[in-house]
Amino acid sequence: MIEEIKAGKGPIYMHTQHVLDTKEKEELGWEDFLDMTIGQAVVWAAQNIDPKEKPSELITAEPYIMGSHATCSGAWASGPEDCAPADYQWGYNRMTTVNGLFGAGDTIGAQRISSQPALSRKAGLLPRRLSAIVMDMKSDVPRIDDAEISRLRETVYKPMENFRVGRNEIVAGTVAPSYITPLHGLQRLEKIMDEYVGGYSMFYVTSEPLLNRGLELLKMLTEDFEHIGADSLHQLQRAWELQHRILTAEAVTQHTLFRKETRWPGYYYRADHQKLDDADWHVFTGSKYDARTGGWQMSKLPVHHIV
């Protein structure tokens, strides 16, 4: 598809009308898309498309935030005890590298194409894991630091304070010289990741110079986040969602820069390292972020073939 679009041979259509030719197939088609590809069903509704009557256009246009497809993954978690190698068991099953923080469902590993029932079953195992750590720590009394709580409260509500102070300086609509809105920040993030970290408009191609420039722009966006404004609790939530996305985007960029190969042709391409390199890169890439310095420590982690 990418090569066809590059050659100017688009648009490319999905001819659902050729297969949804009975009532039973139509119902099954809607069920499948609503289960696995809800966005496509939304597109049909938004563009007045009846998939049993007319085709719909296909484009390689997601994910917008993270750049290329293949850099998204789940949390790094411990276990399970019955099959995980010893070096991947540092704590309770499904506990991340943050002590006491567990993951479930599609937060654990690359579960992007698993069915929802399968993810639900996996998530259902989590209470047993949590009960184990609760029982083990039942004599450990929580210690409350009032000063830390006060500091966190001030930090969390700072975007609302930025808006309160700067709202009288609005020059046009939502444009203000002393703060940015969560939407403004999100649009900047999308543009950075798309153009520098192998997004749709670049046909999923990136390189070391592009990635380094992307990191420069992400650093500036991180600095500007200190001046983000929120006029309501809803926008406050959007502000902190943006902060999490910026940090995730930086992790994605660091990982893409660290892995000097093209592991998933069609999903992303390193223009400066176009071949798959199993000799050096048949590994997981790990990262450790230092919140105090903003620095990243990258590492290679072994792939164990347990099946």
What residues pair up with 58 in beta bridges, in sequence order? 12
195 is a domain residue: yes
| pLDDT, tens digit, 9 for 90 and up, residues 124-177 | 566 777 788 888 888 888 888 999 999 999 999 999 999 999 988 888 877 889
Nearest in space to 71 (alpha carbons), one of 197, 218, 210: 197
63 is a domain residue: no
HEC-encoded secondary structure of 89-140: CCCCCCEECCCCCECCHHHECCCCCCCHHHHHHHHHCHHHHHHHHHHHCCCC
H/E stretch holding 220? helix 208-225
Q: Are residues 174 and 264 in the same domain?
A: yes
The reported pLDDT for the residue numbered 114 is 43
Q: Are strands 295-302 and 283-290 parallel, antiparallel or unpaired?
A: antiparallel
22 is a domain residue: yes
Using CA atoms, how far apart are residues 219 and 43, in angstroms rounded to an integer? Answer: 34
Q: Are residues 128 and 151 in the same domain?
A: no
CB atoms within 10 A of CB 270: 22
Say if CB 103 and CB 74 are below 8 A apart: yes
Q: What is the CATH number of the domain that holds 53?
A: 3.90.700.10
| Percent of the chain residues past pLDDT 90, beyond the cut | 50
Q: Are residues 226 and 277 in the same domain?
A: yes
The reported pLDDT for the residue numbered 111 is 47
Structure tokens at 249: 């985007």
What pTM value is reported for the model? 0.83
Structure tokens at 206: 């990136």
The reported pLDDT for the residue numbered 115 is 44
246 is a domain residue: yes
Structure tokens at 205: 């191609």
The reported pLDDT for the residue numbered 116 is 46
Total number of domains constituting the chain: 3
Domain boundary at 105, 136, 167, which? 136
Say if CB 213 and CB 275 are below 8 A apart: no
Q: Are residues 17 and 106 in the same domain?
A: no
Single-letter residue type at 287: S
Q: Are residues 168 and 123 in the same domain?
A: no
67 is a domain residue: no
What residues pair up with 36 in beta bridges, in sequence order? none
Which residues form the domain of 251? 146-302
Range with the lowest mean pLDDT among 128-137, 184-193, 268-277, 292-301?
128-137
Say if CB 298 and CB 287 are below 8 A apart: yes
